Structure 1
Amino acid sequence: MTNKLHAVFNGQGHPDLKKSDLKDPKLRRIHAENLLRDGTALFSAVLLTDMLDFLELQIEAIHEKIHQICLNHPQQALSWLSIPGIGDITAATLIAYIGDGQRFGTASQLRNYIGLIPRKDQSGTVDKQLGITKFGCMPVRRHIMQGAWGIKKFSRDCSLTRYWEELEARRKLGQKAAVAIANKMISIGFALLKTGGLYEMPDGAQYLKRKLKSYKLEALIEHHSAKIDSDKSSIDC
């Protein structure tokens, strides 16, 4: 949408106006009214500006909803967010669809619900393993697959990055590796939901704190610290 608005200005002889100049809602309208003399171009610019304003409000509302889901379920959010590759949107999606995970008896049941279990084609003595079913909870599957691809670029040493390297060594590349990593992430998350724990890796606490700050979820850090203090008090007693 911003590209289309920028094209309107560019087409009316204002190539010096940058896309960054159109980020502010008020400035967008001011630029349109001050720079565009052609009536059709002005109408198009105002229409695009109104649409951008509406979309940005919608995006802001969605981000606020994601924020609230994580804050309202602090332990679940912490468990998921401690896993590399899982961001605030994926964590909120997992919380919304999976909850505390109590309705699933095993990690395999959860993976099957999401649609990450490989299909099988059995005929006589032939047993072929095909791609994932793609049935099940599509929103969770889509987001966890995106997170799995993120592990390939994750620079820290952890069990997930080592598992990706192991898969590549076994010639499981691309989508096959990503599906295997996604299954691993779900299994790890399921175990963490059961125990209330966090994913462990070198310097994991600092990594999680930085991650929470980047998503403006610092309140979860306080929850985690309070839980640790509570656990220590219980042990002392």
Structure 2
Amino acid sequence: MPNKKTSPDLKVLPMLPHESIYIGVDIGKQKHIAGFVSKTLLERHKHFENCPAFSFEASREGFRSFVERIRDYCPLEHIFVLMELTGHYHRSLQQYLLELDIPVYVMHVQRRQASMIKTDKRDALSLANQLYTQLELGAQVTDKLQAVRRTVPPSATASQLKGLMRHRYELVNEATQRKNKLTAICDELFPELTQVLKDPNLATALALRERFPTPHALATASFTALSEVRVGRRASDADLLHLQHLATQSIGTKDVARQRSLVLEQSLLIKELRLIQEHLERLEGEVCQIVTQSREGQILTSIPPIGPLDAATLIAVIGSIANFEKACDLKSYLGWAPKREQTGTSYDRTRLSQGGSREAKRAMYLIVWRAIRTDTEWSKLYKRLVPRLCSYDERTQSYRGKGRAIGHVAGRLITLAYALLRYDYEVVNHLAPGTDPPAPMLYDLEVHHQHRSGHYHPLKRRPRENRIVQVES
């Protein structure tokens, strides 16, 4: 009988001295698959799909067996690992490998063709082949989503803020959902409330709705009881009397059964909203304290339109500024990179790319709007750009397409933040062990004015000086 075909094994083929091994890891919830590609392996197996693969558990013992398997035939200094950014399942393995000083590369999740065979082993070997072609052979990719980049561990501040800011993002969305439901209940139960209290979800409005949930309860309440519910200076005595008069003539639902269900739902939503707001207040206080004590936070908040919460969002998303070689890479990661489509002379269009972090993209949009509405250098830049980049509508007597100017201002802000953060990163990392770092370089308005007048050079790496060698005759 013919021998059963065995899967290729790394141990059967000795590696060349100083040969690098490229490993792609297909991440799973309970088990990972690692595929191995190198020059010798490709010469032996002819195609990357036939190269060896190894499965291991997503546990401490599994990680240890994976590393021991590599050590059997190759030093760890010659290993390069690539994995996709799949949720949070890759983080434990990534941290374990970084602790061993193994270079770890990451890339976006790739879309596979529908006609191809899809297996975990093939996905792992495909990642290993991607890493091999880009690092070993120096191949360039047209799609930046297929480019691999080396992972740099996040700073201590970013590690603290990442989970906190993600939780804050979720709490804000949940609070908005509760407010929308409470507004809908107010429109059905007592729509006249917004004639006196414009926002039915502020403190006084919620206190009145909780104490007097129906128009009948509000209309029959005493003025003393209404005054006790008032929070701060919101709702004067005349407003409370007017509100009580409106309650007697309310067009809200008169169905008793429907009123009962709405009152119960409203009571529960108010309690949930207050609990969320309490958690948000505590969370934001902790975040602001972390930002003010960190170097990255001091640098970002020195730029006028950036506040502590905005800085916390950017720090958590960036992780480490060393992950970005150029400012344009940071723009793309934050979702503010321009995308141009051009063919011949008939079509030429530039718009904002759809990628990037959603949280950072929204934070930068709010930062830009805050910057152009206040007296800052960015508002002056915006006013100069609008007539140049936007078309003028004679009918409305206003400019159209102001998004181009907003995107330009956002790009300038990101470039400035990148320059300051990168400079501070290089200063801190070039210090001798045990040396106290100097104070971080902050944004200076006077330096900005000098930059505009041409008397200041931006923070960029200096080009290498030309060395002239004189030969004696």
Q: Quickly name the TM-score band, shorter chain normalised.
A: 0.5 to 0.7
Does the Cα contact within 8 Å between 2:210 and 2:270 map onto a contact in 1? no
Q: Pick the aligned partner of 1:10 from 182, 186, 190.
A: 190
Rounded Cα–Cα distance in structure 2 between residues aligned with 1:98 and 1:15:
42
Rounded Cα–Cα distance in structure 2 between residues aligned with 1:180 and 1:15:
39
Letter in 1 for 2:359: P
Residues 98-128 of structure 1 deviation map (CA, whole Å, 9 limit, x = unaligned): 1342221221111121222211235468994
Rounded Cα–Cα distance in structure 1 between residues aligned with 2:283 and 2:345:
51
| Aligned equivalent of 1:114 | 334
Q: How far 1:54 sits from its partner (Å)?
A: 0.9
Does the Cα contact within 8 Å between 2:389 and 2:404 map onto a contact in 1? no
Secondary structure of the 2:351 match is: strand
Does the Cα contact within 8 Å between 1:121 and 1:128 map onto a contact in 2? yes
Rounded Cα–Cα distance in structure 1 between residues aligned with 2:304 and 2:290:
21
User: What value does the CA root-mean-square deviation take over the aligned residues?
Assistant: 3.3
> Are positions 1:69 and 2:287 aligned together?
yes
Structure showing greater radius of gyration is 2
Rounded Cα–Cα distance in structure 2 between residues aligned with 1:166 and 1:16:
41
> Are positions 1:31 and 2:212 aligned together?
yes
Q: Write 1 or 2 for the structure with the bigger share of strand.
A: 2
Q: Residues 127 and 77 from structure 1, CA distance in 2 versus in 1: closer, same or farther, beyond 3 angstroms?
A: farther
Rounded Cα–Cα distance in structure 2 between residues aligned with 1:90 and 1:61:
18
Q: Residues 189 and 171 from structure 1, CA distance in 2 versus in 1: closer, same or farther, beyond 3 angstroms?
A: same
Q: How far 1:31 sits from its partner (Å)?
A: 1.7
| Aligned equivalent of 1:215 | none
Q: How far 1:84 sits from its partner (Å)?
A: 3.2
Secondary structure of the 1:64 match is: helix
> Are positions 1:184 and 2:412 aligned together?
yes
**Structure 2 counterparts to residues 183-222 of structure 1, below 5 A:** 183-194=411-422, 195=424, 196-201=440-445
> Are positions 1:151 and 2:355 aligned together?
no
| Aligned equivalent of 2:319 | 99
Does the Cα contact within 8 Å between 1:100 and 1:193 map onto a contact in 2? no
Structure with larger RCO (C-alpha < 8 A, sep 6+): 1
Which sections of structure 1, spanning at least 5 residues, go unmatched? 203-237
Residues 54-107 of structure 1 deviation map (CA, whole Å, 9 limit, x = unaligned): 133224324433442342243222322232333343222111101342221221
Letter in 2 for 1:32: P
Q: How far 1:177 sits from its partner (Å)?
A: 0.6
Secondary structure of the 2:389 match is: coil
Return the TM-score normalized by structure 1: 0.67
Q: Residues 183 and 59 from structure 1, CA distance in 2 versus in 1: closer, same or farther, beyond 3 angstroms?
A: farther
Rounded Cα–Cα distance in structure 1 between residues aligned with 2:347 and 2:209:
61
**Structure 2 counterparts to residues 45-60 of structure 1, below 5 A:** 45-60=263-278
Letter in 1 for 2:314: L
Q: Write 1 or 2 for the structure with the bigger share of helix.
A: 1
Letter in 2 for 1:191: A
Q: Pick the aligned partner of 1:135 from 345, 355, 379.
A: 355
| Aligned equivalent of 1:205 | none
Q: Residues 67 and 185 from structure 1, CA distance in 2 versus in 1: closer, same or farther, beyond 3 angstroms?
A: farther
